[in-house]
């Protein structure tokens, strides 16, 4: 005696009686879960990634502005001014901006201001050298790899000492790291000038208050951006993209609705069987459990596989497809962060969104049969 | 007919198949989660980059796409200097 | 424990052609005790099946009451009726098997939701199949069976749970004499272990088998006066 002869085994047998229907149902649920979980996981992962990575960055960025836009800062003076504000622990000028390579691609030129800090990544570039991100296309030339940038005062060619690997793509995908002097030349900045100023504070909770103090401390007009704003802007930009793509879930949702309708409006033979089971001594509770086990036996593997598929698309080696879809990313997408909380939230949300209506639709006929005489059900009456 | 498997072979097979399916799906889901989990360990690299270069934006969109165009970025966050562009000097 | 099944002025109506009510049963009174066999006889359309289903709790009467040990089934809640049906074994006239399940699975069906060890379920099925000469057919789909085999499978399904009340509609249908003896033997065994057996039949062989303690004759939905045995 191996196999228990209970309701679960009977529910499995019910599924095996109509394997095609079960398979189609499973595929539909799996596809729906994959589609919705991919978008939601991307959003959650994006937000978690932005929070985690930008959390390692400065708490404020101070930029000098005028009526026409950005204006360079005087690096030393600006840093000194920022340090006078109570709560500021450090201030470092930054050199960066968008320039074009000889091939016409937009890249972000970054000057290494603090070689000691940069040591955690490797050796800082010397004058005439460049370290480039994984997404930067180098000049097509024989010999040492080179990169030509179209600078403010003419083109400049750099020897590329290192091309960073894909792991750094999230921060430096299109970045060209240069010696500070080279960066100033390329960006058209004077010797004492900087693009903006990065500031760190002692207490993160004081970001807003310190931002006001910083703005007041500078003589000219400045725009102070907090880390919270930077994270919020990053997430909002993605959410805008993602919500548009959610429209693509409409067909999948329609498919689920169709499944629900089919499950509720079961055929005459299904109603007859409900009546027969009742006549054979099954209670309404037994019928509900039978339907529940059957529905779970189909939908739980489908949901698990759907979630696994979404996880694979977003976090696995196959993550190029959603990246191309959402960001037109040319290759594999950057590695995003999967936090347990975000992952569980998405998994639970999607699973319940799909499972609850599906289970309700499946259980409804059994629940409705509670008030119907078995004889009426056997005749194919409404359940 | 000494065993239930003998008397109810299809019942036993159906139950076994569904249990295997459930198990396989769970194994796949756990494996993918583990792979994803291990993969995200790579994020230590971009975090070091952000810290070392004091970055305040990330490269979620690739270079050359609209999302990376300075004009399309959030003005409060990514007001980059673009040589020759209006407002820069 | 001895049980009593009673019918008091039971009537069943259905909407007939043109919306006029059609009386399937009218003013039926009867009483039967556990450990006996009650036979409902009558011509086709006399109301045997309707009365059987009403007694079994599958159908609510339009008027009158069916009482079990003095309690009216028709006043019970759905949950109570579910419990009542668990004490009932039913054999339908048309067998009502699930065609794509095997014979053994059809017989197992009433036991599936019951809280009892799997071994006990298995043994009950195996014993019942053997008793009705169905063991060799156990693995075959019900759709492959002949009329007589289907009826015996349906009887096995009704008997497998050792019900306190057995309602059998034409249990001898399509049975040759050898298999009729098996059927009669099983019905007698059910009676002997204390079940109330209610048969609907027009098979004289069954009536002549000396099985029935009480015979109720129905004519056009009414109990025929003075015609009971």
Span C110-135, pLDDT tens digits? 999 998 888 899 999 999 999 999 99
| Alpha carbons A290 and A271: distance in angstroms, whole number | 14
pLDDT at C188: 94
A5, A6, A281: residue with CB nearest C88: A281
- Residues of B whose CB is below 8 A from C135: 1
CA distance B16 to chain C (A): 16
pLDDT at A266: 65
pLDDT at A317: 67
pLDDT at residue A244 is higher than 70: no
pLDDT in tens, C21-62: 888 888 889 999 999 999 999 888 889 999 998 988 888 888
The nearest alpha carbon in chain B to A68 belongs to: B87
A273, A284, A290: residue with CB nearest C78: A284
pLDDT at residue A229 is higher than 50: yes
- Residues of A whose CB is below 8 A from B62: 135, 173-174, 327-330
The nearest alpha carbon in chain B to C112 belongs to: B11
Within 10 A of C199 (CB to CB), how many other CB atoms are there?
Answer: 26
Confidence of residue C104 (pLDDT cuts 50, 70, 90): very high
To the nearest whole percent, how much of chain A has pLDDT over 90? 17
Structure tokens at C98: 């699930």
The pLDDT mean for chain B works out to 69
Q: What's the Cα-to-Cα distance from A3 to each of A294, B3, B23, B26, C45, rounded to whole Å?
A: 17, 8, 17, 22, 45
| Alpha carbons C81 and A38: distance in angstroms, whole number | 48
Structure tokens at C228: 């009971």
A296-323 mean pLDDT? 82
CB contact under 8 Å between C122 and A13, yes or no, is no
CB contact under 8 Å between A10 and C90, yes or no, is no
To the nearest whole percent, how much of chain A has pLDDT over 70? 86
pLDDT at C27: 87
The nearest alpha carbon in chain A to B25 belongs to: A301
pLDDT at residue B62 is higher than 60: no
Look at B68 and C5; give whichever has higher pLDDT.
Answer: C5
B1-5 mean pLDDT? 59
pLDDT at B83: 44
Within 10 A of C124 (CB to CB), how many other CB atoms are there?
Answer: 21
A136-159 mean pLDDT? 82
pLDDT at residue A215 is higher than 70: yes
B11, B58, B76: residue with CB nearest A53: B58
CB contact under 8 Å between B59 and A173, yes or no, is yes
CB contact under 8 Å between B1 and C118, yes or no, is no
C80-93 mean pLDDT? 88
Residue A138 DSSP label: P
pLDDT at C102: 93
Nearest Cα to Cα of residue C131 among C63, C92, C192, C183: C183
| Alpha carbons A95 and A125: distance in angstroms, whole number | 14
pLDDT at residue A100 is higher than 70: yes
- Give contacts of B 6-45 with A, CB under 8 A: 8, 10-19, 21-22, 24-26, 28-29, 31-33, 35-37, 39-40, 42-43, 45
A69-79 mean pLDDT? 85
CB contact under 8 Å between A276 and C88, yes or no, is no
DSSP string, A254-269: HHHHHHHHHHHS--HH
Q: What is the per-residue burial (b if ≥16 Cβ within 10 Å, else e) of C133-152? A: ebbebbbebbeebeebbbbb
C207-223 mean pLDDT? 88
Least confident of A187-201, A307-321, A339-353, C35-49: A307-321
pLDDT at residue A290 is higher than 60: yes
pLDDT in tens, C160-182: 999 999 999 999 888 888 899 99
C133-146 mean pLDDT? 92
pLDDT at B78: 46
| Alpha carbons C42 and C23: distance in angstroms, whole number | 16
Nearest Cα to Cα of residue B60 among A111, A47, A98: A47
DSSP string, chain C: ---EEEEEEEEEEEE-GGG-EEEEEEEEEEEEETT-EEEEEESTTSSHHHHHHHHHTSS--SEEEEEETTEEGGGS-HHHHHHHHHTEEEE-TT----TTSBHHHHHHGGGTTS-S-HHHHHHHHHHHHHHTT-GGGTTSBGGG--HHHHHHHHHHHHHTT--SEEEEESTTTT--HHHHHHHHHHHHHHHHTT-EEEEE---HHHHTTT--SEEEEEETTEEPTT---
CB contact under 8 Å between A56 and B59, yes or no, is no
Least confident of A64-68, A378-382, C87-91: A378-382
The pLDDT mean for chain A works out to 82
Look at B40 and A250; give whichever has higher pLDDT.
Answer: A250
Nearest Cα to Cα of residue C90 among C8, C198, C191: C198
To the nearest whole percent, how much of chain B has pLDDT over 90? 7
C94-119 mean pLDDT? 91
List domains and CATH numbers for chain C.
4-223 (3.40.50.300)
pLDDT at residue B80 is higher than 50: no
Least confident of A122-136, A181-195, C68-82, C100-114: C68-82
Confidence of residue A220 (pLDDT cuts 50, 70, 90): confident
pLDDT at B40: 63
| Contacts of C38 by beta carbon, 8 Å cutoff, 6+ apart | C30, C32, C196, C197, C198, C199, C212, C213, C214, C215, C216
Confidence of residue B76 (pLDDT cuts 50, 70, 90): very low
CA distance B17 to chain A (A): 8
CB contact under 8 Å between A375 and C110, yes or no, is no
Confidence of residue A332 (pLDDT cuts 50, 70, 90): low
CB contact under 8 Å between A284 and C118, yes or no, is no
User: Do you know the residue count of chain C?
Assistant: 229
- Give contacts of A 129-168 with C, CB under 8 A: none
Check CB contact of B1 with chain A, cutoff 8 Å. Answer: no
The nearest alpha carbon in chain A to B86 belongs to: A68
DSSP string, A26-81: HHHHHHHHHHHHHHHHHHHHHHHHHHHHHTTS-SEEEEEEETTEEE-EEHHHHHHH
pLDDT at residue B7 is higher than 70: yes
pLDDT at A383: 44
pLDDT at C44: 86
A13, A284, A370: residue with CB nearest C105: A13
Confidence of residue B75 (pLDDT cuts 50, 70, 90): very low
């Amino acid at each position: 005696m191996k196999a228990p002869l209970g309701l679960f085994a009977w529910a499995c047998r019910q599924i095996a009686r109509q394997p095609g229907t079960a398979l189609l149902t499973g595929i539909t649920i799996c596809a729906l879960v994959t589609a919705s979980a991919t978008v939601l996981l991307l959003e959650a992962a994006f937000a978690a990634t932005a929070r985690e990575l930008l959390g390692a960055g400065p708490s404020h960025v101070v930029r000098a502005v005028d009526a026409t836009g950005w204006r360079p800062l005087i690096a030393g003076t600006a840093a000194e001014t920022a340090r006078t504000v109570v709560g500021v622990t450090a201030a470092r000028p930054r050199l960066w901006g968008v320039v074009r390579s000889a091939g016409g691609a937009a890249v972000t030129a970054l000057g290494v201001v603090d070689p000691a800090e940069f040591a955690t990544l490797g050796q800082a570039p010397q004058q005439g050298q460049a370290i480039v991100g994984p997404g930067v296309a180098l000049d097509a030339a024989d010999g040492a790899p080179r990169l030509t940038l179209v600078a403010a005062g003419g083109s400049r060619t750099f020897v590329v000492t290192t091309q960073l690997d894909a792991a750094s793509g999230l921060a430096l995908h299109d970045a060209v790291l240069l010696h500070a002097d080279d960066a100033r030349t390329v960006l058209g900045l004077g010797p004492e000038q900087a693009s903006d100023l990065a500031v760190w504070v002692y207490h993160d909770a004081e970001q807003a208050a310190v931002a006001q103090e910083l703005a007041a401390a500078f003589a000219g007009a400045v725009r102070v951006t907090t880390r919270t704003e930077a994270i919020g802007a990053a997430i909002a930009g993605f959410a805008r993209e993602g919500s548009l793509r959610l429209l693509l879930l409409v067909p999948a949702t329609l498919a689920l609705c169709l499944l629900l309708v089919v499950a509720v409006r079961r055929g005459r033979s299904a109603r007859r069987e409900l009546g027969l089971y009742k006549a054979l001594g099954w209670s309404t509770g037994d019928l509900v459990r039978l339907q529940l086990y059957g529905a779970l036996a189909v939908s739980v593997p489908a949901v698990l596989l759907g979630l696994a598929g979404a996880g694979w698309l977003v976090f696995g080696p196959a993550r190029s497809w959603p990246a191309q879809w959402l960001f037109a990313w040319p290759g594999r997408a950057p590695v995003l962060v999967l936090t347990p909380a975000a992952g569980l939230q998405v998994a639970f949300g999607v699973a319940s969104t799909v499972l609850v209506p599906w289970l309700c639709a499946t259980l409804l006929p059994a629940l409705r049969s509670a008030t119907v005489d078995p004889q009426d059900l056997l005749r194919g009456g409404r359940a | 007919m000494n065993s239930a498997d003998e008397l109810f072979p299809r019942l036993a097979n159906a139950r076994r198949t569904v249990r295997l399916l459930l198990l396989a799906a769970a194994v796949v889901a756990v494996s993918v989660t583990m792979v994803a989990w291990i993969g995200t360990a790579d994020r230590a690299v971009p975090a070091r980059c952000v810290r070392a270069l004091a970055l305040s934006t990330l490269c979620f969109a690739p270079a050359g796409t609209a999302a990376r165009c300075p004009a399309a970025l959030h003005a409060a966050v990514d007001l980059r200097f673009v040589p020759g562009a209006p407002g820069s000097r | 424990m001895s049980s009593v099944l009673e019918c008091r002025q039971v009537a069943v109506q259905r909407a007939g052609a043109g919306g006029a009510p059609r009386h399937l049963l009218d003013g039926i009174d009867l009483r039967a005790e556990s450990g006996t066999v009650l036979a409902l006889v009558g011509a086709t359309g006399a109301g045997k099946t309707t009365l059987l289903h009403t007694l079994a709790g599958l159908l609510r009467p339009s008027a009158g009451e069916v009482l079990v040990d003095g309690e009216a089934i028709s006043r019970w809640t759905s949950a109570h009726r579910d419990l009542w049906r668990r004490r009932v074994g039913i054999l339908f006239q048309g067998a009502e098997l699930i065609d794509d399940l095997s014979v053994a699975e059809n017989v197992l069906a009433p036991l599936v939701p019951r809280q009892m060890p799997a071994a006990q379920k298995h043994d009950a099925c195996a014993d019942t199949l053997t008793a009705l000469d169905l063991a060799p057919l156990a693995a075959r789909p019900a759709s492959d069976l002949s009329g007589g085999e289907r009826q015996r499978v349906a009887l096995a399904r009704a008997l497998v749970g050792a019900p306190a009340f057995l309602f059998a509609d034409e249990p001898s249908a399509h049975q040759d004499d050898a298999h009729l003896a098996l059927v009669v033997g099983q019905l007698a065994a059910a009676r002997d272990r204390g079940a109330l057996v209610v048969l609907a039949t027009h098979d004289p062989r069954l009536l002549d088998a000396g099985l029935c303690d009480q015979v109720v004759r129905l004519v056009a939905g009414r109990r025929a006066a003075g015609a009971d045995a």
